Amino acid sequence: MQNTTDTRQKLLEAKYFLEQMRNTQMRIKSDDLMKLLKDKRNITVKQEPVRPRALVKVSMNESAVAIDDGFSLVIKRANGTVEKSESVPAQPPPQPKAQTQTTVEWLWYFVELPDKDVVSVCAECVTKLESLVRECESRFHN
């Protein structure tokens, strides 16, 4: 009699587990981000590598630039008056060594999600999967 009760209990637990897993699969399939990454994975595995697009931001900062030539300034006022001003350096200043600082930032993105970089998308999905694993372990860990 004990074996029958144990077997019945195990079958009920297995049924509950399978039902929960079906619900979890449906939840994952309805998540747009998870679906996108699964589709990208399938394309990579079955057809060709997925090639995300890149946005490259290049910033160049250059330190002081010396002007050793003169300049002229002309201001035309709304009332028609004209003001002229000229500047001629008396002696050219010593030329400082230009120091340029360049930074390059690469942001990879999928065409379907142009506002999110690939690394952030993957991190978000990994977080969701970690949460799912913790949930399953807490429910079904003996």
How far apart are the two ends of the chain, measured CA to CA in Å? Answer: 23
> Looking at the structure, do residues 61 and 121 belong to the same domain, yes or no?
yes
> Looking at the structure, do residues 35 and 102 belong to the same domain, yes or no?
yes
pLDDT tens per residue, range 115-136: 999 999 999 999 999 988 888 8
> Looking at the structure, do residues 62 and 11 belong to the same domain, yes or no?
no
> Looking at the structure, do residues 87 and 64 belong to the same domain, yes or no?
yes
Query: How many residues in total does the chain contain?
Result: 142
> Looking at the structure, do residues 51 and 110 belong to the same domain, yes or no?
yes
> Looking at the structure, do residues 16 and 85 belong to the same domain, yes or no?
no
- Torsion-angle region of 80 (φ positive above 0: left; ψ -120 to 50: alpha; else: beta): left
What is the edge-to-edge ordering of all strands in the sheet holding 113-117? Answer: 53-62, 100-110, 113-117
Which residue range is the domain that position 11 belongs to?
A: 1-30
Instruction: State the total domains in the chain.
Output: 2
* b/e code 42-54 from CB counts within 10 Å (16+ = b): eeeeeeeeeeeee
Q: How far apart are CA 52 and CA 110, in angstroms?
A: 5
With 80 as the cut, is the pLDDT of residue 91 above it?
no
pTM: 0.56
> Looking at the structure, do residues 10 and 36 belong to the same domain, yes or no?
no
User: Given pLDDT bands bounded at 50, 70 and 90, which one contains residue 95?
Assistant: low
